[in-house]
Amino acid sequence: MALDIINKNIDGVIVVHLGGTIFFDEESKSLRLYVKDLLGKSRHIVLDLGNVARIDSSGLGTLVALYASARKIGGDIKLANLGKHIKEALQITRLVTVFDIFDKTEDAVASFKRAAAAG
């Protein structure tokens, strides 16, 4: 199953809706290139993983690499709408301690506004 990627801009935050699988090779590579391009347009990105059925270790590595790329330029990547499989994978790998994770995409977008207001 291929990776579907659709994005929209909400108040300067780019929300990337992902669907399908994030596995080694094409899916991970296309996601990495796509989001790195978006980081040139906005430093605030939310990955909505609600329609991602499966992710493997390479996919998790891609998420970490994107997070590191965003942080390097003063940005951030937040995760939202995680399915059961994705939540379990992030818990097992302890990546839940790295990412800001939200149940709803709207809450992730709002968290960028709160951070801007506080800082």
Q: What is the pTM of this model?
A: 0.94
Q: Flag whether pLDDT at 115 surpasses 70.
A: yes
32-91 pLDDT, tens digit each: 999 999 999 999 999 999 999 999 999 999 999 999 999 999 999 999 999 999 999 999
Q: Flag whether pLDDT at 116 surpasses 80.
A: no
Please name the residue that has the structure tokens 């939200």. 102
**Residue 115: other Cβ atoms inside 10 A:** 12
Q: In Å, how far are 60, 73, 77, 81 from 84, measured between CA atoms? A: 15, 31, 20, 10
Task: Give the pLDDT score at 25.
Answer: 84
93-103 pLDDT, tens digit each: 999 999 999 99
Domains of the chain with bracketed CATH:
4-112 (3.30.750.24)
